[in-house]
Structure 1
Amino acid sequence: MKLINKSMLTAIITLSTASVYYAQQTQDTVTTTRSKDIEEVILQGVTDIAKDRKTPVAASTIKAAQLVERLGNQELPEILNTTPSVYATKSGGGFGDGGLTIRGFESRNIAVMVNGMPVNDMEGGTVYFSNWTGLSDVTSTLQVQRGLGSSKLAIASVGGTVNFLTRSADMKKGGVVRLGVGNNDYLKTSFAYNTGKSDKGWSSSILMSRQAGSTYVENTDYESYAYYFALGWEPNKKHNFQFTLTSAPQWHDQRSYASAISDYIKFNPDNDGTPYRAYNSDFGYYTDSEGRRVALSNKSNYYAKPVMMLNWDWNMSEKSKLSTVLYASNGRGGGTGDLGRVGGKSINDTSFRDTSGHYNFDKIFAANAAVNPYTAGNGATLIRRASINSHNWYGILANFQHKINDNWNFSIGTDDRYYYGYHYQVITDLYGATGYKDANNKNLAPRVVNSLYNYKKLSWNPFGGKTAALEEQIGYSNDGEVLWYSAFGQIEYSKNNLSAFLQGSVSNQSYQRIDNFVQDGVTKQQGQIVNTKTGFKDLFGYNIKGGANYNIDSNHNVFANIGYYSKQPFMNSVYPSNQQVVNPTLTNEKIFSAEVGYGFRSAKFNANVNLYRTQWKDRWMRRTMDFEIPDPSSTNGVSIIKGYAEINGITQVHMGVEVDAAYKPTSFLEFQGMLSFGDYKYKGNATGTTFDENNNPLNTTGSSSNSATLYLDGVKVGGSSSNSIPQFTASLGATVRPVKDLSIYGTWRYTGKLYSSIDVSTFAVQTNQDRGVLQLPDFNLFDLGASYKLKLKDTSKYFTIGANVYNLFDTTYIADGATNIFEGDKGSTGVLYKGIDTGNRVYFGFGRTWTATLSFNF
């Protein structure tokens, strides 16, 4: 049932999101630099933080106090859910597995930055927030810029930019100890201390934390640590050095497969016809030597991504400043899943499931034990493998700023990076087998591998651990090498009420794919003889953008910006199908965006209105999928085949309007709210090809080819994985301070026009074009929280007690969808749930969850 109506919309338009209010409170401190002459520059240093009523972009800022007060055990991106056009979910529900979209674009096309340093994966643009959970403890300011944003770098900020600014070493002397507890055995402890700055200019900051428990979903145990160390030195007024080292090593069990709604209902222990939202089909049970029933996860993730940064700010003169960042990151880890078949059956065969819908590992172990891998065929045992995705990443980012006169400033700089990625598979559990025969390495004879890798053994090495020996690698083994060179420049004008900027950048990305399993100069792929190394493929790109802001008076301002990107595609589109052959239709993606905005500021009421349009042409996309293929040897007549689809020639047009504001009638009461409405559609058709995970062509449409036209013209934009994209969001909140140091706050959020992800098989049929992507049910959520500060006689020391309840009314809702099944389709059950077929695979959102925290500042 839709609970939003005209009166609510009126209220939302006249109220707004807390982020505007927080931006007003913190913006000036964030953008202040030590050089007063540089202070008035619109976009400063390498961080490019937008300044209110000056930088012509749509931005929202959240300060550390709000993160500490309200995040709790939510996913890090979820703190942004009251920001216009932002949709953050827990996706499958594993720790750190959350997803993020801005203006309908997913995280791989959102520039995520830490202190102005890009952290999107250089091969595929992905961001795994489980690698960055420690940021919630060390972030001093979080700013979201929607649209092309103000960053001068040659980055793919198609949807927007998310910039985390961490605490500096020269913070005020003091420390804090925190303890947090919550649902499902959530426990988090942390300690932080800042020395303050000494007479000789030295300062340091340290933080350590541990978090463990499980999430709302079945069998999603996790353990995560975080450490942060900053050392600062300011020898004089001209130079300031800041060294930072941070990492968040973790492991967590996952739910990575979106089950059918019918299964959520079927496997509800209460058997009451309602979905069991915590159901997880990615784990099962086995009987140990003492007769106990022990849980075992098939899907898990583990990673450690230490980052080291050295920042140097040099005030060369009253008018000139040079900011330089040297950084390095050696990430190690990957994710687990099944590999192989036993008795011709995959792990998802119904005979390997128990009555609760989980894996019966006793049966799998017994089936594996009956196979001699030395005499059986390749892949004739069923195991759990880890797909490694490690990397070494080094870069330098430099920005020179000069104040020409009172009105004009310019800056030039360079962003250069080197990246080497390691991708291969190792065994983490034999599931009762004595080994696994692998024949994928063309340089070795088929061999049985039985060495195991313990993924729960966390890596603390900030310089990166060694990779597994080639003889232990199975499935595939390929490396990606990326060279990135770029230059950027910006000119700015500011006089009286007018500020404007024009910026541009050029970049060259060089990709090389190295396949350790091909036989150099012998192996054939796509009819060509290929080598272990492809050689570097150079791709040139550029962007240009500009904007202006005009302050009509002390209350009103207007702004506009426009930009064009010629964006290099990701590595898997340069070398499609995971092979050594360059894509013959390779072309840059083209993004054109324009935006206008209006702002109102007063002592009690602030508001913003933005209108935008973004067109994205020649997009190439890979989507990992589970395909259902007819299989007479399977118990239920079908097999679920893991694979992927490659789609090229996509054009998307995203248009929308955003409203956000804040109203503070008294010192003890404030209101927040926002409204965003989008119209995101595909323009024209595209082409899709499907493959299994071993890169073999996979026919999923019933035709004689694995390639098909996808009839997408006019279809609403859906997600590219098991995620969804909303085109209507709203929120309304209030904060009450009835007595000094006590805050009580509540938020209502509405999500509507929520569209499931693209299903390649569906849109290969032209008659499905008119009905479009499956629209999921709208939903409303309420959160409630409180925080109380208890001060001691020494006011610099105080306790803070906090509590948060998320999804207060325990609403059952679908957060993400993976399929587009309508009644009567293949896979349809003929039964509807909230208007959609229960054959659809989805992720239900969490039910009611809670956290409580106690901290002591000294």
Structure 2
Amino acid sequence: MNIIFKGTQVLSYKDAKASNYKFLFLFSIFFSLFSVTSFSQVKDTVPVNRLDEVLVSAIRVTSKTPVTFSNMDKKEIKFRNLGQDIPILMNYLPSVVTTSDAGGGIGYTGIRVRGSDATRVNVTINGIPYNDSESQGTFWVNMPDFASSVESLQLQRGVGTSTNGSGAFGASLNMLTDNYASKPTGEISSSYGSFNSNKNSVKFSTGLLNDHFELAGRLSTIQSDGFVDRASSDLKSYFLQGTYIGKTTLIKALVFGGTQQTYQSWNGIDAQTLAENRTYNSAGEYTDEAGNIRYYDNETDNYNQDHYQLHWNESLSDKWSTNLAFHYTKGKGYFENYKNDEPVEGYGSIQSTKMVENDNGDLVPGTDLIRQKWLDNDFYGTTFSVKYKEEKLDVIVGGGWNKYEGDHFGKVIWARNSGPTELGDHYYDDFSSKTDGNIFAKANYQITQQLSFYGDLQYRNVTYKANGADTGLVDDSFNFFNPKAGLNFEINQKNNLYFSYARANREPNRTDYEGGNVKPEKLNDFELGWRFNSDKFQLNSNFYYMGYRDQLILTGRLDDVGAPIRSNTDKSYRLGFEVDATIAVSEKFILRPNFTLSSNKNVDLAVEGQNYGTTKIAYSPEIIAGNIIVYSPIQNLHISLLQKFVGEQFMNNIELPEAKLADYFVNDLNVSFEIKPKSIFKSIMITGLVNNFLDKKYVSNGYMWDVYPYYYPQAGINFLAGLTLKF
């Protein structure tokens, strides 16, 4: 979602643009006709992967680059792609911890990498920034079923390489959308499971028309009641991609987006309720005039987001290639709340003779009311890269310029005692803008047959302006220089050592300005790794040290609209050891274990004048471990046991005993069987997923309200089953 606080996305289904779908329909007709009649056949085309990878080659890495990373491709994604969000599908990657507000992996989900939350994970789609410009977060609920249109993804841990968008302070995630298909294809997929969760999607591809053009698309719907009471999700999405393949040219035009309506479930529950009623949800609860407890039926978050991308990739020669992209994202929507006995101050001209208590315990005029908080935003810009590659030298020069503009406003749509107000009146209006430009140059140089050097220099300029009552008048500009360098040493064909240093700087987000924290953060990241690769055994291991100055650390508290409150700490660090492996025990058994051991500390932490000494950084477990055991007794049958252990962690930085989250160990079972008939269908895939089959009662996330903990409980045993037909 493109809004500045956790629950602030917004657009009702009534506004879900029918014009988008008309545009998709007309575009598909035009594209098909144009492709059939316009171009002669060209047989001598550049290989598909070479051209398509140009889209992300400026920000992706290989094993020859001294950067710590993990990859996932479409084949791995498809076995568990039954409606859950991308973070949940990434749960078993090294150093990753995921959570779900509704408890079942559908709706609002979150991810942390090495203890760093989603605002510090830089996300790009085909090299285009996806993080919300103001909050810096990523809201996967706005792109339902996007995993069905992802060709591959790469998660770089640490600072990684220079990329477009916000600075990576814990990790960067880049996704490449579907490659083109040479032959026509179709796909129908449906799944159903616990909490009345269901997903239905349709995909198609025309294949290459005249050996040059392909049109592909997808429509999806996802619904779920959620594990938590009333934590329902009603999600719709579309994806349309037109591709032109020439002798040395790849052009992609993409239109994708989604409409979501979710019943709010971000309040969490206190310790007593956790013990007595894990599914309780306080959102929408109010007391009517007769003293009865009721729940408002439209305590919802509503948002619509549409993305437009145009990519032009050109292979100028065997040594030179270029990528130029333009993008535009439109987001609009609101979240709605019933406020019981709400003080009327700050709500415009609303008046009331009823007296209620405010947060200070004073009696002030108040009333029951229903409010909407809106965001109407635009995000647009361009990215580019030029690549030169010869036998010993690989150089990429690139960058981007992006602009965000956001209107924030609030409406009171009903009040028990309204006074002299009009429907549609705004009780606040403010505007914000953010300009983000960067340029980088990076190179890999093969010094000797075994030793290569990697260098990466980035300059980034950020300008942020806001005039909200919560932020005050903001007009800040930041200039960041981010150097990176490393060495890669190939001991032999199987063994590889690397060492790298990376510098990152990062600006505050909107909520930080609300809290008065305006210092940018600085990070020095050191990575030392060893990679081993043989036919039956692959091992990646690395040590990392991430030293921060003025890090904005999560306090565990939330503001009045659910946004995490952060504060600067002078010095802090993350020190860790990561290992992941793939072991082919036999033709039928594959093991894929990983674990992370880390120490994450604030040094001489001072909070409100009190020094707490060296403390653990919030939401940073010292042990994270995962394992996938794959058993294939016969061809096309895969049985996977997926295991995840997350050690204990604190929800604030002063190690308050009440702020501790207990460790948990969760086991999932995934079964898939593919049938390949000789007629009608190319493939029939049956998939089953039993999550948490040992029915572990666990909590993966929470926050502190002063000294009181609040928790987000996750679902016990639950299942999803799906059927995919390809033709």
Where does residue 300 of structure 1 map in the other structure?
300
Deviation at 1:856, TM superposition (A): 0.3
Deviation at 1:646, TM superposition (A): 5.6
Q: Decide whether aligned partners of structure 1 residues 685 and 773 sit closer, same or farther in structure 2, where only a CA change above 3 A counts.
A: farther
**Secondary structure of 1:158's partner?**
coil
Q: Decide whether aligned partners of structure 1 residues 296 and 811 sit closer, same or farther in structure 2, where only a CA change above 3 A counts.
A: same
Where does residue 214 of structure 1 map in the other structure?
225
User: Which blocks of at least 5 consecutive residues in structure 2 are unaligned?
Assistant: 1-43, 346-350, 357-362
1:605 to 537, 559, 568: 537
Report matched runs for 1:125-144 at 5 Å: 125-144=136-155
**Secondary structure of 2:648's partner?**
strand
Q: Decide whether aligned partners of structure 1 residues 416 and 343 sit closer, same or farther in structure 2, where only a CA change above 3 A counts.
A: closer
Q: State the distance in 2 between where 1:727 and 1:118 align.
A: 30
- 1:734 alignment partner AA: I
Where does residue 857 of structure 1 map in the other structure?
726
TM-score, scaled to structure 2: 0.84
For the 8 Å contact 1:507–1:541, the answer to whether it is kept is yes
Q: State the distance in 2 between where 1:61 and 1:411 align.
A: 21
For the 8 Å contact 1:37–1:318, the answer to whether it is kept is no
2:375 to 381, 389, 414: 389
Residues 1:180 and 2:191 aligned together:
yes
2:215 to 204, 220, 227: 204
Where does residue 712 of structure 2 map in the other structure?
843
1:670 to 577, 583, 590: 590
Cα distance per residue 1:536-561 (max 9 Å; x no partner) = 43221120112222221122111111
Cα distance per residue 1:763-800 (max 9 Å; x no partner) = 5xxxxx7x678332221111012111121114961211
For the 8 Å contact 2:352–2:417, the answer to whether it is kept is no
- 2:647 alignment partner AA: G
Q: State the distance in 2 between where 1:643 and 1:152 align.
A: 26
Where does residue 479 of structure 1 map in the other structure?
431
TM-score, scaled to structure 1: 0.72
For the 8 Å contact 1:93–1:255, the answer to whether it is kept is no
Where does residue 283 of structure 1 map in the other structure?
284
**Secondary structure of 1:78's partner?**
helix
Q: Decide whether aligned partners of structure 1 residues 650 and 93 sit closer, same or farther in structure 2, where only a CA change above 3 A counts.
A: farther
Residues 1:717 and 2:623 aligned together:
no
Where does residue 539 of structure 1 map in the other structure?
478
Where does residue 508 of structure 1 map in the other structure?
461
Report matched runs for 1:759-798 at 5 Å: 774-794=659-679, 797-798=682-683
For the 8 Å contact 1:620–1:646, the answer to whether it is kept is yes
Residues 1:416 and 2:405 aligned together:
no
Q: State the distance in 1 between where 2:530 and 2:634 align.
A: 35
For the 8 Å contact 2:82–2:199, the answer to whether it is kept is no
For the 8 Å contact 2:339–2:369, the answer to whether it is kept is yes
- 1:756 alignment partner AA: M
For the 8 Å contact 2:287–2:293, the answer to whether it is kept is yes
- 2:539 alignment partner AA: A
Q: State the distance in 1 between where 2:324 and 2:115 align.
A: 33
Where does residue 35 of structure 2 map in the other structure?
none
- 1:510 alignment partner AA: T
Where does residue 64 of structure 1 map in the other structure?
74
Q: State the distance in 1 between where 2:209 and 2:51 align.
A: 29
Q: Decide whether aligned partners of structure 1 residues 66 and 200 sit closer, same or farther in structure 2, where only a CA change above 3 A counts.
A: closer
Deviation at 1:74, TM superposition (A): 3.2
Residues 1:498 and 2:448 aligned together:
no
For the 8 Å contact 1:566–1:590, the answer to whether it is kept is yes
Where does residue 4 of structure 2 map in the other structure?
none
Cα distance per residue 1:282-316 (max 9 Å; x no partner) = 1348999xxx9985357421111111000001222
Q: State the distance in 2 between where 1:491 and 1:648 align.
A: 34
- 2:636 alignment partner AA: D
- 1:714 alignment partner AA: T
Q: State the distance in 1 between where 2:114 and 2:452 align.
A: 26
- 2:589 alignment partner AA: L
For the 8 Å contact 1:620–1:650, the answer to whether it is kept is no
Deviation at 1:162, TM superposition (A): 1.2
Q: Decide whether aligned partners of structure 1 residues 232 and 845 sit closer, same or farther in structure 2, where only a CA change above 3 A counts.
A: same
Q: Decide whether aligned partners of structure 1 residues 295 and 589 sit closer, same or farther in structure 2, where only a CA change above 3 A counts.
A: closer
Residues 1:737 and 2:632 aligned together:
yes
Deviation at 1:619, TM superposition (A): 2.8
Q: Decide whether aligned partners of structure 1 residues 58 and 257 sit closer, same or farther in structure 2, where only a CA change above 3 A counts.
A: same
Q: Decide whether aligned partners of structure 1 residues 47 and 88 sit closer, same or farther in structure 2, where only a CA change above 3 A counts.
A: farther
Q: State the distance in 1 between where 2:298 and 2:553 align.
A: 27
User: Which blocks of at least 5 consecutive residues in structure 1 are unaligned?
Assistant: 1-32, 266-274, 346-367, 438-446, 452-471, 519-524, 578-582, 628-639, 688-707, 719-723, 764-768, 822-826, 828-838
Structure number with larger C-alpha Rg:
1
Which stretch shows the higher mean deviation, 89-98 or 246-255? Answer: 89-98
For the 8 Å contact 2:212–2:244, the answer to whether it is kept is yes
Q: State the distance in 2 between where 1:322 and 1:166 align.
A: 18
Q: State the distance in 1 between where 2:124 and 2:417 align.
A: 43
Deviation at 1:382, TM superposition (A): 2.1
Q: Decide whether aligned partners of structure 1 residues 138 and 644 sit closer, same or farther in structure 2, where only a CA change above 3 A counts.
A: closer
Report matched runs for 1:65-464 at 5 Å: 65-91=75-101, 93=103, 95-153=106-164, 155-170=166-181, 172-199=183-210, 201-234=212-245, 236-265=246-275, 275-284=276-285, 296-297=296-297, 299-339=299-339, 341=341, 380-403=366-389, 405-427=390-412, 430=414, 433-434=415-416, 436=418, 447-451=420-424
Deviation at 1:40, TM superposition (A): 12
Q: State the distance in 1 between where 2:153 and 2:451 align.
A: 26
Cα distance per residue 1:547-594 (max 9 Å; x no partner) = 222221122111111111233333454x545xxxxx7x8543211010
Cα distance per residue 1:685-716 (max 9 Å; x no partner) = 345xxxxxxxxxxxxxxxxxxxx235353111
Q: State the distance in 2 between where 1:39 and 1:189 align.
A: 33
For the 8 Å contact 1:87–1:726, the answer to whether it is kept is no
For the 8 Å contact 2:704–2:710, the answer to whether it is kept is yes
Q: State the distance in 1 between where 2:169 and 2:321 align.
A: 29
Deviation at 1:150, TM superposition (A): 2.5
Which stretch shows the higher mean deviation, 71-80 or 236-245? Answer: 71-80
Q: Decide whether aligned partners of structure 1 residues 343 and 666 sit closer, same or farther in structure 2, where only a CA change above 3 A counts.
A: closer
**Secondary structure of 1:217's partner?**
coil
**Secondary structure of 2:615's partner?**
coil
Cα distance per residue 1:177-200 (max 9 Å; x no partner) = 001101111121100001111225
Report matched runs for 1:741-756 at 5 Å: 741-756=636-651
Q: Decide whether aligned partners of structure 1 residues 180 and 262 sit closer, same or farther in structure 2, where only a CA change above 3 A counts.
A: same
Q: State the distance in 2 between where 1:675 and 1:51 align.
A: 22
- 2:78 alignment partner AA: V
For the 8 Å contact 1:478–1:513, the answer to whether it is kept is yes
Where does residue 654 of structure 1 map in the other structure?
574
**Secondary structure of 1:684's partner?**
strand
Where does residue 458 of structure 1 map in the other structure?
none
For the 8 Å contact 2:102–2:227, the answer to whether it is kept is no
Where does residue 568 of structure 1 map in the other structure?
507
For the 8 Å contact 1:46–1:399, the answer to whether it is kept is no
Residues 1:53 and 2:53 aligned together:
no
Q: State the distance in 2 between where 1:552 and 1:337 align.
A: 61
Report matched runs for 1:813-824 at 5 Å: 813-819=698-704
For the 8 Å contact 2:556–2:651, the answer to whether it is kept is no
**Secondary structure of 1:168's partner?**
coil
- 1:504 alignment partner AA: L
Q: State the distance in 1 between where 2:625 and 2:527 align.
A: 20
Q: Decide whether aligned partners of structure 1 residues 212 and 617 sit closer, same or farther in structure 2, where only a CA change above 3 A counts.
A: same
Q: Decide whether aligned partners of structure 1 residues 608 and 539 sit closer, same or farther in structure 2, where only a CA change above 3 A counts.
A: same
- 1:553 alignment partner AA: N
Q: State the distance in 2 between where 1:37 and 1:737 align.
A: 30
For the 8 Å contact 2:504–2:523, the answer to whether it is kept is yes
